[in-house]
């Protein structure tokens, strides 16, 4: 009987081995925590009230090289963003030098105003910049059309606009050295039963964008969605299935 219990536990662990529970979790504040992916990468998770959706947990990414960090997406508010930036500076002893949002929604760049007050350079799709201007939001400083290569020290970071999906301007971030794809809200966690908020998206183009994504990054080891648990390439495939419903 004990042997069967052990076998069952091993199977459970095997099929649930990738979720965030297997990674070190670090509490930043009552509404922010980090999940350490590697010595150079963290997922930041913040909980905020979002109009129409209630309390929502949103994901972002921190990539580290030496004493510098690149931040991808902010928490929803300036105050939460300040808490995160201060903790990174005081606890990890890192300086955030660059920032890029996945798209224009508040769960991606709600804290951009604070980052700009700290002199942090920001990069975004030109479409994000255009939307931010029309909506009187803080505007990222540097834009790109299809792709942009940046460096954090000697580490390469690639930003891509592959097409409309969750929003018209959503991008993805690829970190080759870590094989990490920060896909943001266009990709859904395995627990997602639907596509969530698509009010600002394009459901016609969405499947084509997801197809481009899976063909472009077949070697991705970690895929990070905008909300929910990260995983592997199966998250992109799951999103594709949701699009066929």
Q: Judge contact between 76 and 106, C-beta under 8 A.
A: yes
Catalytic residue, from 44, 105, 127, 238: name it.
Answer: 105
Q: Is 83 exposed, middle or buried (0-12, 13-18, 19+ CB in 10 A)?
A: buried
Q: Which helix (H) or strand (E) holds 55?
A: strand 54-65
Catalytic residue among 40, 44, 102, 188: 188
Closest CA to 57 of 35, 36, 85: 35
6-35: b (≥16 Cβ within 10 Å) or e: eeeeeeeeeeeebebeebeeeebeebbbbb
Query: Would residue 241 show up in a list of annotated catalytic residues for this protein?
Result: no
Could you give the 3-state DSSP secondary structure of residue 91?
A: coil
Among candidate residues 44, 107, 108, 238, the one labeled active-site is 107
The question of whether 185 is a catalytic residue gets the answer yes
**Catalytic annotation, pick one of 103, 169, 170, 238:** 103
Is 166 labeled as catalytic in the residue annotation? yes
- The token duo for 153 is 């020290």
Q: Which is catalytic among the residues 166, 169, 170, 238?
A: 166
Q: Contact at 8 Å (CB) between 133 and 139?
A: yes
Is residue 151 flagged as an active site residue?
no
Active-site residue list = 103, 105, 107, 166, 185, 188, 197, 227
């Amino acid at each position: 009987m004990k042997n069967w219990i052990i076998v069952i536990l091993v199977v459970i662990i095997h099929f649930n081995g990738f979720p965030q529970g297997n990674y070190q979790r670090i509490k930043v504040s009552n509404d922010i925590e980090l999940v350490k992916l590697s010595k150079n990468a963290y997922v930041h998770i913040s909980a905020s009230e979002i109009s129409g959706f209630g309390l929502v947990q949103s994901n972002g990414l921190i990539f580290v090289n030496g004493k510098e960090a690149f931040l991808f997406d902010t928490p929803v508010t300036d105050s939460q963003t300040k808490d995160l930036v201060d903790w990174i500076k005081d606890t990890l002893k890192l300086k955030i030098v660059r920032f890029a949002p996945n798209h224009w929604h508040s769960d991606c760049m709600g804290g951009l105003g604070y980052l700009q007050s700290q002199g942090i350079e920001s990069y975004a799709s030109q479409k994000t910049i255009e939307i931010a201007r029309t909506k009187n939001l803080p505007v990222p400083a540097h834009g790109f059309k299809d792709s942009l290569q940046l460096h954090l020290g000697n580490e390469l970071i690639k930003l891509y606009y592959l097409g409309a999906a969750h929003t018209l301007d959503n991008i993805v971030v690829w970190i080759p050295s870590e094989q990490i794809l920060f896909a943001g809200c266009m990709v859904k966690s395995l627990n997602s039963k639907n596509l969530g908020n698509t009010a600002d998206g394009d459901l016609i183009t969405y499947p084509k964008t997801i197809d481009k994504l899976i063909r472009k990054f077949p070697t991705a080891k970690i895929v990070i969605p905008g909300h929910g648990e990260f995983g592997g390439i199966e998250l992109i495939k799951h999103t594709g299935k949701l699009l066929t419903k």
